[in-house]
Amino acid sequence: MAELWFAIASLMLVAYVVLDGFDFGAGALHLVVARTDAERRQLLSAIGPFWDGNEVWLLATGGVLFLAFPRVLASGLSGFYLAIFLVLWALILRGTAIEFRSHVENPLWRAAWDAVFSVASTILPILFGTALGNLVRGLPIAEDGWFSLTLFTNFSTSGPVAILDWYTVCAGLFALLALTGHGASFLVWKTDGPIRERSRAAAIRLYTLVAVTWPLLTAATWWVNPHLFAAFHQRTVAMLSVLVAVAGLAAVATGLRRQRDGLAFLGSCAFLIGMLAATAACVFPTMLRSVVNDGWSLTAYNASVPEASLYAGTRWWAIGLPLAVTYFIVVFRLHRGRTSIAAAEQSY
């Protein structure tokens, strides 16, 4: 059962990154691809039906950890205390900017909230990517299962580690590239006019950078944590996931070149799914790796609740997941098609 719930936790996190990732990316590009008030309202109308519901998957990830791996959740929340507050503030400011920008018909007011929206949407991928980099690199977990991190020390991955070092910063910047490219592919799919054309140009540039930097980040990951790849060739899920990620990049390139916008967005989704699934398959069963003593790491086995609780949770999860998936299917069907400037005049 611990293996199943590790997979469920990974699934919830991947769903959050893929779904909320496209509106993070769209927000980061807000001031770049949308240059007039009408165009910015069009961009917000494109993500408007989805962004609030997408954030529920972050809560679902926390709920899964609370149910199945409370030690991991408790240790992570306390250790990443500062980073989590930064994430919460960015999420709050982002939502506030979307809702407040049109409350006052003043260009300065709207420009200020547009800037807040764009900056918060840019910061969030960096924060999440940096957090994932910390998990891959390892944490200073003590024998009692707790750890604390300063913001930075000597910017090195050896010795006393901190939230920021050269590797975690690279992971954060790569996350920004990947999610901004994901958002650009979504805007190509869901908008028309100048935003669509600017987003297409941005997606081509961003995914070119992603294709170049992904192998470099993989090499850096091997340098920082070579144990991560030790069992790669023995784990079919990891190998298949890498193939899915590569196929996703190919689909993005094909879709953008041939103007098959839906294919490009699906390829972007596949790339993120494959990359994250491969990472989860490689780190299993470790959830929080200790760089102090590998035996002190928190794993799916030593940090899970009793099996009876996992069985009970599985029954409720089997009910809740289809409802959540049905909701998202209905929302995407109700809001299918492109968002035009004329349609956006009645919102945001």
Average pLDDT of the chain to the nearest whole number: 90
Q: Is the pLDDT of residue 346 over 80?
A: no
pLDDT in tens, 106-140: 889 999 999 999 999 999 999 999 999 999 988 98
Which DSSP category does 228 fall into? Answer: G
pLDDT in tens, 72-84: 999 998 888 888 8
Task: Find out whether 114 and 40 touch, Cβ atoms under 8 Å.
Answer: yes
Helix (H, G, I), strand (E, B) or coil at 48: coil
Q: Is the pLDDT of residue 272 over 70?
A: yes
Which has the minimum average pLDDT: 195-204, 262-271, 321-330? 321-330
Residue 347 has a pLDDT of 62
* CA dist., res. 58 & res. 60, Å (int): 5
Residue 43 has a pLDDT of 93
Residue 186 has a pLDDT of 96
Residue 233 has a pLDDT of 78
Q: Is the pLDDT of residue 185 over 70?
A: yes
Tell me the two tokens of residue 288.
């929080």
Residue 343 has a pLDDT of 56
Residue 348 has a pLDDT of 64
pLDDT in tens, 33-64: 998 888 999 999 999 888 888 888 998 999 99
Residue 25 has a pLDDT of 95
| Residues 237/6/313/11 CA torsion (nearest 10 deg) | -60
Task: Find out whether 12 and 50 touch, Cβ atoms under 8 Å.
Answer: no
Task: Find out whether 17 and 128 touch, Cβ atoms under 8 Å.
Answer: yes
Q: Is the pLDDT of residue 345 over 80?
A: no
Enter the pTM of the model. 0.93
- In Å, how far are 58, 112, 177 from 51, measured between CA atoms? 12, 20, 19
Q: Is the pLDDT of residue 342 over 70?
A: no
pLDDT in tens, 138-169: 898 888 888 888 877 777 777 788 888 899 99
Residue 155 has a pLDDT of 78
* CA dist., res. 41 & res. 110, Å (int): 10
Tell me the sheet residues that pair with 286: 299
